[in-house]
């Protein structure tokens, strides 16, 4: 009895393993790119000049910069989970302007929406993008400031997962071949 290795199955498994290894190295490269991005965000947070609030796109190039805008009218105000500047857990009152811009008005322990009908808002651009009011509006308390340190750089863990998947696929395939030849 000959011990032939199935060619098509082997090619498929090796292609999958090669793809997983390539994805692992891609994640390692992304780790460096993300570190550079986080460093840019840290620098942007220290700028004293205001940036224009991005009305289109994700606005990532100006995240963590100070900005201001005029919310002419409000479509809705809703409570979302949040944290006060003092570290208390509760609700951030989030307004959506009729222009589509999102503004975090301030922190409250109460779910009830404040009576805010719009106006001039100054604050910090956060991911979304949304403007986190500083100072808070509508008689609310201050929220935690958006912090670039809260954005994860977990690409090394993702790389490890891809390498582990590749190793697991190889081990399973070798075990399957051994069982087949018995």
Q: Is the whole-model pTM more than 0.75?
A: no
CB 36 within 8 A of CB 160: no
CB 46 within 8 A of CB 61: no
Q: What is the pLDDT of residues 119-135, one digit of tens each?
A: 999 999 998 899 999 99
Name beta bridge partners: 80: 92
CB 73 within 8 A of CB 117: yes
Q: What is the pLDDT of residues 72-98, one digit of tens each?
A: 999 999 999 999 999 999 999 999 999
CB 117 within 8 A of CB 60: no
Largest pairwise CA distance in the chain: 84
Where is average pLDDT lowest: 37-41, 73-77, 102-106, 142-146?
Answer: 37-41
Which two three-digit tokens encode residue 103?
């503004």
Which two three-digit tokens encode residue 154?
């977990």
Q: What is the pLDDT of residues 170-181, one digit of tens each?
A: 999 999 999 988
Which two three-digit tokens encode residue 93?
């009152």
| CA–CA separation, 85 and 106 (whole Å) | 10
**pLDDT score recorded for residue 2:** 56
Q: What is the mean pLDDT of residues 44-67?
A: 83
| CA–CA separation, 62 and 50 (whole Å) | 10
Whether the predicted pLDDT of 103 surpasses 50: yes
Whether the predicted pLDDT of 1 surpasses 60: no
Please report which confidence band the pLDDT of residue 38 belongs to, taking 50, 70 and 90 as the band edges: confident
CB 95 within 8 A of CB 71: yes
Where is average pLDDT lowest: 3-12, 40-49, 102-111, 137-146?
Answer: 40-49
More confident residue, 160 or 3: 160
- Alpha carbon separation from 132 to 21, 28, 35, 107 (Å, rounded): 41, 33, 24, 11
Q: What is the mean pLDDT of residues 94-114?
A: 93
Please report which confidence band the pLDDT of residue 149 belongs to, taking 50, 70 and 90 as the band edges: confident
- Alpha carbon separation from 53 to 8, 58, 129, 135, 143 (Å, rounded): 55, 10, 8, 17, 19
| CA–CA separation, 132 and 124 (whole Å) | 5
């Amino acid at each position: 009895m000959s011990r032939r290795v199935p060619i098509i199955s082997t090619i498929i498994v090796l292609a999958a393993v090669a793809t997983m290894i390539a994805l692992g190295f891609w994640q390692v490269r992304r780790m460096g790119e993300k570190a550079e991005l986080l460093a840019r965000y840290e620098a942007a947070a220290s700028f004293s000049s205001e940036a224009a609030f991005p009305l289109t796109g994700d606005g990532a190039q100006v995240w963590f910069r100070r900005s201001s805008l005029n919310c002419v009218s409000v479509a809705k105000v809703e409570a979302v989970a949040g944290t006060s500047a003092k570290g208390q857990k509760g609700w951030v009152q989030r307004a959506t302007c009729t222009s589509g811009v999102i503004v975090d008005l301030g922190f409250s322990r109460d779910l009830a929406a404040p009576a805010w009908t719009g106006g001039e808002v100054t604050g910090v651009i956060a991911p979304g993008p949304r403007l986190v009011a500083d100072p808070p509006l509508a008689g609310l308390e201050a929220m935690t400031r958006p912090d670039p340190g809260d954005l994860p750089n977990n690409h090394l863990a993702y790389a490890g997962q891809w390498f582990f998947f590749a190793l697991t696929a190889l081990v399973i395939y070798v075990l399957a071949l051994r069982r087949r030849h018995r």
